[in-house]
């Protein structure tokens, strides 16, 4: 990326603010933003394509991923279309989609209005990311530090500080730590009982949030675990494909973890001056979609659209894999882990009203 002079970048910064306000006043596509930018960290739920720019096999930048995205483009998003964070940044009146930070073609406007540092396959346990060569959470925090330096060079430290303190942050991780790491690989299972491992993951989350706070973040939404026992791939991993509903003991693990995570978040909220922390109960949101699909206009909630819908993810969900559903909008799951664009849209609308609104 070619860097304009500081004076030019400052002018661009002001034009960006004016443009956003103008769009809001016209009542056209966006309303006036309640926050200046959105920054996301975590795993595939918030990775719009960062993994496209690193040496890893954890990628979804190929068909049929993105079949319903703008121009039928496979951008690296793990869905048939937009992710939840794309809908969030649009609902906030900031921009249409949230780009990956590692995209070399980002403009100053892209940077000033928010980016995602998420990396598919990552987790709060460093081993989770190391095992599949993706960006661990501590590295995502380092990339955010790098982001701050880039923006300070363009618009100065005061404008950057204001932007950072007023922006909204979303952290989504933990699922891979359990599904990809603890249940699938033997190392952590030999070292920890599942409750102990949950403590290790929560400690990683706590350390990450403290680092974000040091870097200036003040409005942070933190996702708990979804109902991991309802993920099609989890049934395959544990060889419980014949289970009609969700795997109960896996969901109990998620509930226990979420309860402790919520308590940790509350304690941090008291201990760190000026911070606003909100726990997002994604477990309840996704469980309702799975248990009552017809209520939301879905027809299927036990398997994904790609292939059999029980094991295909990333490289195994490819152009040679048949898309078994005619209309992804009628399915809760796109592949064996990730939601469809429509399910993400619904989940975001619920989270916006119940959780994000507390930070705006």
- Over the chain (360 residues), the average pLDDT of each successive run of 10 is 43 42 40 88 98 98 96 95 98 97 96 98 98 98 98 96 98 98 96 98 98 98 98 93 88 98 98 98 98 98 95 95 91 98 98 97
Q: Say which of 43, 103, 177, 335 is annotated catalytic.
A: 335
Closest C-alpha among 358, 267, 335, 314 to residue 62: 314
Task: Give the per-residue pLDDT at 322.
Answer: 85
Is the CB of residue 258 less than 8 Å from the CB of residue 281? yes
* Domains of the chain, first to last: 6-26+33-228+246-283 (3.40.50)
Quick count: other Cβ atoms within 10 Å of Cβ 152? Answer: 17
φ/ψ (deg, to 5) at 257:
-60, -45
Residue 38 β-bridge partners:
168
Provide CB contacts within 8 A for 292, sequence distance 6+. none
Handedness of CA 7, 8, 14, 17 (dihedral sign): negative
Nearest to 141 by CA among 122, 160, 162, 113: 122
Cis peptide before 134 (omega within 30 of 0): no
Give me the pLDDT at residue 2, please.
41
Structure confidence at residue 5 (pLDDT): 46
Contact residues for 252 (Cβ-Cβ < 8 A; gap 6+): none
Name the DSSP letter for residue 2.
P
- The structure tokens 């975590």 sit at 42
Return the structure tokens found at 290: 């799975």
Q: What is the pLDDT of residue 324?
A: 86
> Catalytic annotation on 288?
no
Packed helices 282-291 and 341-354: angle between N→C axes, nearest 10 degrees: 130
322 — phi, psi (to 5°)?
-70, 140
Rounded CA gap, 229 and 105, in Å? 39
Q: Residue 235: its pLDDT value, please?
A: 93
Other C-beta atoms lying within 10 Å of the C-beta of residue 292? 11
Q: How many CB atoms lie within 10 A of CB 217?
A: 23
Marked catalytic residue, from 43, 119, 311, 338:
338
Question: E-assigned strands of the chain?
Answer: 38-42, 168-172, 219-223, 276-280
- Give me the catalytic one of 43, 44, 79, 311: 44
Residue 31's pLDDT is: 57
Q: Could you give the 3-state DSSP secondary structure of residue 170?
A: strand
Is there a contact between 143 and 137 (Cβ–Cβ < 8 Å)? Answer: no
d(CA 27, CA 40): 27
Beta-carbon count within 10 A of 239 CB: 8
The CA R_g of the chain, rounded to the nearest whole Å, is 20
Query: What is the model's pLDDT at position 13?
Result: 45
> Is 3 an active-site residue?
no
Quick check: 302 and 232 in contact, CB under 8 A? yes
Predicted pLDDT at 21: 36
Is 338 an annotated catalytic residue?
Answer: yes
Sign of torsion, CA 17 22 25 27? negative
Length of the chain: 360
Across-strand partners of 220?
A: 169, 277
Q: What token pair was written down for 309?
A: 């819908």
300 contacts 310 by C-beta, under 8 angstroms: no
Cβ 89 vs Cβ 102: under 8 Å = no
The answer, as to whether pTM is greater than 0.85, is yes
Give the HSE-up count for residue 190: Cα atoms under 13 Å, Cβ half-sphere.
3
């Amino acid at each position: 990326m070619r860097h304009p002079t500081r004076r030019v970048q400052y002018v661009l910064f002001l034009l960006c603010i004016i443009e956003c306000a103008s769009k809001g006043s016209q009542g056209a596509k966006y309303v006036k933003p309640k926050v200046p930018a959105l920054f996301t960290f975590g795993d595939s739920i918030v990775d719009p394509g960062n993994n496209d720019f690193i040496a890893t096999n954890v990628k979804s930048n190929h068909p049929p991923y993105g079949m319903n995205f703008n121009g039928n483009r496979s951008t690296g998003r793990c869905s048939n279309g937009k992710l939840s964070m794309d809908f969030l940044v649009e609902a906030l009146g900031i921009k249409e989609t949230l780009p990956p930070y590692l995209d070399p073609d980002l403009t100053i406007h892209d940077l000033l209005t928010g980016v995602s540092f998420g990396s598919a396959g990552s987790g709060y346990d460093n081993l989770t990311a190391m095992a599949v060569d993706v960006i661990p959470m501590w590295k995502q925090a380092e990339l955010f530090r790098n982001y701050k330096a880039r923006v300070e060079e363009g618009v100065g430290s005061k404008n950057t500080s204001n932007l950072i303190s007023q922006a909204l942050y979303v952290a989504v991780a933990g699922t891979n730590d359990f599904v990809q790491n603890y249940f699938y690989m033997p190392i952590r299972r030999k070292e920890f009982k599942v409750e102990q491992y949950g403590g290790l993951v929560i400690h990683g989350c706590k350390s990450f949030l403290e680092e974000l706070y040091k870097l200036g973040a003040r409005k942070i939404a933190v996702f708990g675990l979804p109902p991991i026992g309802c993920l099609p791939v989890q049934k395959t991993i544990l060889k419980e494909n014949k289970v009609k509903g969700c795997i109960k003991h896996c969901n109990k693990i998620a509930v226990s973890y979420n309860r402790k995570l919520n308590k940790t978040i509350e304690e941090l909220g008291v201990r760190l001056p000026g911070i606003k922390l909100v726990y997002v109960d994604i477990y309840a949101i996704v469980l309702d979609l799975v248990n009552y699909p017809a209520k939301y206009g879905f027809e299927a909630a036990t398997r994904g659209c790609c292939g059999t819908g029980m094991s295909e993810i990333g490289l195994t969900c490819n152009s040679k894999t048949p898309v078994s559903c005619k209309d992804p909008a009628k399915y809760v799951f796109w592949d064996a882990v990730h939601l469809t664009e429509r399910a993400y849209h619904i989940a975001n609308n619920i989270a916006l009203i119940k959780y994000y609104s507390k930070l705006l």
